[in-house]
Amino acid sequence: MVIVMKTTATNDDVKNIERLLKRLDLGAHISEGEERIIIGVIGDKRLLDGVPLELMPGVDKLVPIVEPYKLASRTFDPEPSTIEVGESQIGGKKLTIVAGPCAVEDEEQILKVARYLKSQGIDFIRGGAYKPRTSPYSFQGLEEEGLKLLAKARKETGLLVVSEVISTEFLDQAVEYLDVIQIGARNMQNFQLLREVGRLKKPVILKRGLASTIEEWLNAAEYIMKEGNYDVILCERGIRTFETYTRNTLDLSCVPLIKELSHLPIIVDPSHGTGKGNLVIPMSRAAIAAGADGLMIEVHPDPKSALSDGPQSLDFDGFSELMGEVAKIAQVLDREI
C-alpha cells in the first residue's frame, strides 16, 4: 500500500507517519515527486488494520498496490530510481554502458579490453568468471582467478566491475571483488540466490530468464528487494521464441512496458539478445531509442578466437562504431553517454 500525501503536506506530517509506521514495525519508502510525496509502506499491511491512517494530517488517500510485485512496482515508487555505483549512476540522464568479454580468459585479454574500454570513456567492465554454459564440455570460466583478474583491471583503470554469480556457495567470495553482481538468465528464478543477493549491499543486474514473462521477471526483482536490497537493474537479453535465425528474440517492447510498470532502471543486452555481431549495433540504437537506460555489450580483442560467445562479440573497432551510433540517438533523446 502507498500513502499519497496532499500537495500541502509538511515535513512534519511525513515524519509523523514514518514514526507511526516504525512503531508498528513497518518501514517507509519516501518518494518525492514534483508535486507531492508518496510513502510506500514496507511490510505486512495487516499490521495497519484498524489504524485510521487516512485521517492523519497531510494524508490525501491510501492506494493499494494491486500488482503481485510491490516494491518493484511504479505504484510503490512513482519516480524512476537511480542507482549509485561508485561515482556512477544507473538510471539517470547518462546512459550506462557495461562492456567486456563474455568470459575472462587470461590476464592479457582482460587488461587489453579494460584499457581499451577506459579509452572509450565508459564506466563499467563485465567479464564472466563463473560461466553457466549449455554444454558441460564448454569453457566453464576461470572462477576465482577470473575475479582476481577483473579486480586487477579495476585497480589499473578505475573501471567498475560486473560479473555473474551462479550459486550461493561462491557469493561471499565473489562479492569481495565486484562492484555490481550479475544474476544470469538461467538463474533468474534461483530464489535462494535471489534472497541471498537481496541481503547484500551491492547493486544487482538481474537478467530476464530465457523464457520468462515480464511479470515473472519483476517478481524475481521483488525477491531481491524484499530482503532490503533495492538496487536492482533489469537487463533484457532476449527470450526463446520459434525464430532460429537469431539466438534469442530481443524483446524491446519490454523496455517502455517496464518503464510503465516499474521504477527500476532497465538496460538491454543485444549481444545475447541476437547472438549475432552484425545485429548488435542496430539493436543497440533501437534499445536506446525505446528508452533503455543503457546497454550490456560483449567485446573481445579477437572475437574469432574467443572461448565463448565469439560470434556475438564486437571487436574494438566495432565497439567504437557502436559508441558513435549510440551517441547520435542519445543526443536526440536528450541523454548523455
CA dihedral 86, 89, 94, 97 (to 10 degrees): 70
Q: Which stretch binds ligand PEP (CB under 6 A): 83-91, 154-162, 179-187, 222-230?
A: 179-187
At 112, the amino acid letter reads K
SS3 of 217, please? helix
What residues make contact with Mn ion under the rule CB under 5 A? 102, 309
Using CA atoms, how far residue 95 sits from 84, 131, 230, 242, 317, in Å, is 13, 27, 20, 32, 20
> Does 207 contact ligand PEP by CB under 6 A?
yes
Q: Which region among 74-82, 104-112, 145-153, 183-191 touches ligand PEP (by CB under 6 A)?
A: 183-191
Report the C-alpha gap between 129 and 74 in whole angstroms: 34
Give the residue, chosen from 272, 285, 300, 335, that forms a contact with ligand PEP under the rule CB under 6 A. Answer: 272
Q: Does 209 bind ligand PEP (CB under 6 A)?
A: no
Q: Is 128 in the site for ligand PEP (CB under 6 A)?
A: yes
Q: Which stretch binds ligand PEP (CB under 6 A): 65-73, 178-186, 252-260, 329-337?
A: 178-186
Cβ partners under 8 Å of residue 53, min gap 6: 3, 17, 20, 59, 62
Q: How far is the CB of 158 from Mn ion (least distance, A)?
A: 24
Among 184, 198, 275, 303, which residue sits at the site for ligand PEP (rule: CB under 6 A)? 184
Q: Which is nearer to ligand PEP, 41 or 185 (CB)?
A: 185
Choose the contact partner of 185 out of ligand PEP, Mn ion, none; CB within 5 to 8 A by kind.
Answer: ligand PEP
Are β-strands 294-298 and 232-236 bridged in parallel, bridged antiparallel, or unpaired? unpaired
DSSP letter at 68 equals S
The residue within the footprint of ligand PEP, chosen from 102, 149, 206, 323 (CB under 6 A), is 102
Minimum distance, C-beta of residue 80 to ligand PEP, in the bound complex (Å): 23
Nearer to ligand PEP, 102 or 280 (CB): 102
Residue whose CB is nearest to ligand PEP in the complex, by number = 184
What cell does 315 get? 571487436
**Smallest gap, in angstroms, from Cβ of residue 217 to ligand PEP?**
12
Q: Which stretch binds ligand PEP (CB under 6 A): 66-74, 165-173, 184-192, 328-336?
A: 184-192
Residue tagged 582482460 (cell numbers): 110
C-alpha–C-alpha distance, residues 46 and 32, integer Å: 25
The single residue among 38, 185, 288, 337 that binds ligand PEP, judged by CB under 6 A, is 185
Interatomic CA distance for residues 120 and 256, integer angstroms: 28
Alpha carbons within 13 angstroms on the beta-carbon side of residue 140 total 6
Give the strands of the sheet with 2-5, arranged side by side. Answer: 27-32, 37-42, 2-5, 59-63
| Segment interacting with ligand PEP (CB under 6 A) among 28-36, 51-59, 147-155, 181-189 | 181-189
Which span (8-16, 138-146, 180-188, 327-335) binds ligand PEP, by CB under 6 A?
A: 180-188
Closest approach of Mn ion to the CB of residue 103, in Å: 7
Cβ proximity to ligand PEP: between 198 and 275 the closer is: 275
* 272 within 8 A of 247, measured Cβ to Cβ: yes
| Residues 154 and 171: beta-carbon distance below 8 Å | no
Which of ligand PEP, Mn ion, none interacts with 117 (beta carbon under 5 to 8 A by kind)?
Answer: none
Instruction: Indicate the residue whose CB is closest to Mn ion.
Output: 102
Kindly provide the residue ranges of all beta strands, DSSP E only, lying in the chain, ordered along the sequence: 2-5, 27-32, 37-42, 59-63, 83-85, 88-90, 96-100, 124-126, 160-164, 180-183, 204-207, 232-236, 266-268, 294-298
Binding site for ligand PEP (CB under 6 A): 102, 128, 132, 184-186, 207, 237, 272
